[in-house]
Structures are given as C-alpha cells and as structure tokens.
Amino acid sequence: MATLTVPHQAPDAAEDAEQLRKAFSGWGTNEALIISILPHRNAAQRKLIREVYSSTYGEDLLKDLDDELSSDFQRAVLLWTLTPGERDAVLAHEATKKWTSSNQVIMELACTRSSAQLLDAKAAYHDRFKKSIEEDVAHRTTGDFRKLLFSLIACHRYDGGDAVNMTLAKQEAKILHEKFEGKQFADDEVVRILSTRSKSQVNAALNEYKAQFGHEIGKALESDDGGEDKFLWLLRSTIKCLTRPEEYFVEVIHGAIAKTGTDEGALTRVVATRAEVDLKVIKEEYQRRHSVPLAKAIAKDTGGDYENMLLALLGEQDE
C-alpha cells in the first residue's frame, strides 16, 4: 500500500553516496539527480547511504542536504531522508515548539503509528533532544488538550491482535454515549477509553455505539456553533485516526491544497510519512472523494523541485 518505487536493482549505497556528493559539487546543486535517487530508496537503503556517505566523505549527508537545498524542497528531502522514527521525533519536536495549532501533529503521531513505531519515535526524541516527547507535550499544553494529548502520546497501546472484549465494548460504548449526551467531551472516561484501549477495542466500542444508538459517534461530536470548537475537532480527528486513518489523511491533504495558499508543512508531512506506508490507499480515497487524482491536485498547487519530489514519493514520476 506504499507508493514508494524502488528500482529492482538499486545501485549500491556507495554509488548512491557518490552520486549525491556529485550533485552537491561545483556551481549550484543538481536537484534532479537528488530526486532521481533519494525518493526511490526505502528506509533501510537510505540509512545505509547515510552511513556510507559519512564514512566516505566524513560529512553528514543530512547536513549537506540542509546546506545545499532550500525552502519546501529542502524540508521534503530532509524529512524523507530520516528514518521513520527520527522523522516522527522531528515532527513532534516542531509541533511542541510552535504550539498550539500544531497539537494536531501530536495526535496524528500518537494515533496513526503502531506502538512499536511510536516507541521508535520516542527513542529518537530522547537521542536527539535529550528529553522525552511526553515532557514537552505536557509542558506546552494545558487543560483538556493536555489531558487528551498527553494520554494519547504517552500510552503504549496493546496492538498484538484483533481479539476484542465485547462485554467491555458494550460498556464503554454506553459510557461514551452518556458523556457525550452530557456534553462532557473531555471527561476522564472518554480520554481513558480513546487513549488506552487497543485500536481493535476502540473500533469495537464505536461499532457498538452505532448499533446501540443509531448514529455514528462523530455526529455526537459536532459543535452547535458549526465546527469551530477546537477540542471537539481534535476529538473527532482522534477517532478518525484510530479507525479510518486514510480518510483523516485525505482531509489533511485536501485542507492543505484546497485553500488559498498551500500549507506545505502539512502536505510534506503527510506525503513523507505515508509514502512508505499507506499513501496508495490515501491516493485512492482522495480520487474517490474529490474525483481528481491526488498527483494532479498536488501538481496544480506546487512547483519546481518541490513538486517533483512529492510526485516521486507519490510513485508518479516513472509511470
């Protein structure tokens, strides 16, 4: 379900490192050469290229990319070149620094990664920033947002299987209904259920909710004032990320390109983090929902090397 296209016989890491070095040398930078390599290598290959580059040239490939490139293209290449754990750590760090609009990113990381992937991000955060994601999230948030985001990011969810406890699912569907009826959206029990139960268990509770109360849970989370309540929005997004992440990502991408002025930060984040995971499903869902191919929509809103980099990650360049 990834969109990443890796050649059947990829050059070895030494050759890739040499080509990249060449792309940086002389006057100007050969962006096309970079785009012909990095977005066509998987995480293990990119890691190896970085290692070989460092041992051969005594320089950090990421530092050289940082020096040579600029703007949105730079951020896309840098984020992509990191390992998934490092990338998530960097995204989380950005998010805790420029609060509050980006608390969405913390929720997204917490709810769309597996427990093992989230753990990789936490370990990379320790290594890189000498502190924990949890302490930065808790420090930079307050009230209901802190309660929900801290629980989501801290909890090491069980994800070892699809078995669910149906008695529990029925009970917790009732609890959610009771709390939402009473407009107690940030109640401890709501946060507990959404942040600690396995994704299978959350899904079972939400299906029970629909069966018992006759409507999707999202309906109970619409604000009376037309969608402006930020906490309700975060709660709806949490549920979407836990149950139908591809729909959530389609919304984020559409939000990033549909409005006047593109939100390159969000666009790059989704493409770079999902290309090796489920971007294929996201593409299909985008086309189904907006009746236009995702690549076309992105091409319309972006340009130059940045556009080429995103399209390469979308698996479009070579088709």
Nearest by Cα to 307 from 297, 38, 82, 80: 297
Determine if residue 307 is labeled as part of a ligand binding site.
yes
Looking up tokens 């309660």 gives 147
Determine if residue 218 is labeled as part of a ligand binding site.
no
User: Given the complex with its own copies, which of 192 and 254 has the nearer CB atom?
Assistant: 192
Q: Which two tokens stand for residue 288?
A: 């189904």
Cα atoms found within 13 Å of the Cα of residue 251, Cβ hemisphere only: 12
Least Å distance, CB 111 to its own copies, is 15
Determine if residue 178 is labeled as part of a ligand binding site.
no
Least Å distance, CB 230 to its own copies, is 19
Those residues whose C-beta lies under 8 Å from the C-beta of residue 65, and which sit 6 or more positions away, are 34, 74, 77, 78, 81
User: Given the complex with its own copies, which of 14 and 154 has the nearer CB atom?
Assistant: 154
Least Å distance, CB 190 to its own copies, is 12
Determine if residue 261 is labeled as part of a ligand binding site.
yes
Least Å distance, CB 123 to its own copies, is 8
Least Å distance, CB 219 to its own copies, is 26
Q: Output the DSSP codes for 17-47.
A: HHHHHHHHSSSS--HHHHHHHGGGS-HHHHH
User: Given the complex with its own copies, which of 125 and 286 has the nearer CB atom?
Assistant: 125
Question: How far is 42 from 29, CA to CA, in rounded Å?
Answer: 23
User: Given the complex with its own copies, which of 126 and 300 has the nearer CB atom?
Assistant: 126
In three-state form (DSSP H/G/I as H, E/B as E, the rest C), the secondary structure along 102-171 is: CHHHHHHHHHHCCHHHHHHHHHHHHHHHCCCHHHHHHHHCCHHHHHHHHHHHHCCCCCCCCCCCHHHHHH
Footprint of its own copies (CB under 8 A): 119, 122, 126-127, 130-135, 138-139, 142-143, 146-147, 150-151, 154-158, 160-161, 163, 188, 192, 195-198
Determine if residue 92 is labeled as part of a ligand binding site.
no
Question: How far is 17 from 61, CA to CA, in rounded Å?
Answer: 9
Determine if residue 257 is labeled as part of a ligand binding site.
yes
Determine if residue 302 is labeled as part of a ligand binding site.
yes
Those residues whose C-beta lies under 8 Å from the C-beta of residue 133, and which sit 6 or more positions away, are 89, 92, 96, 106, 121, 122, 125, 153
Determine if residue 24 is labeled as part of a ligand binding site.
yes
User: Given the complex with its own copies, which of 187 and 307 has the nearer CB atom?
Assistant: 187
Least Å distance, CB 300 to its own copies, is 42
Question: How far is 241 from 224, CA to CA, in rounded Å?
Answer: 23
Looking up tokens 């849970």 gives 217
User: Given the complex with its own copies, which of 10 and 168 has the nearer CB atom?
Assistant: 168
Binding site membership: which residues? 24, 26, 28, 68, 257, 259, 261, 299, 301-302, 307
Binding site membership for Ca(2+): which residues? 24, 26, 28, 68, 257, 259, 261, 299, 301-302, 307
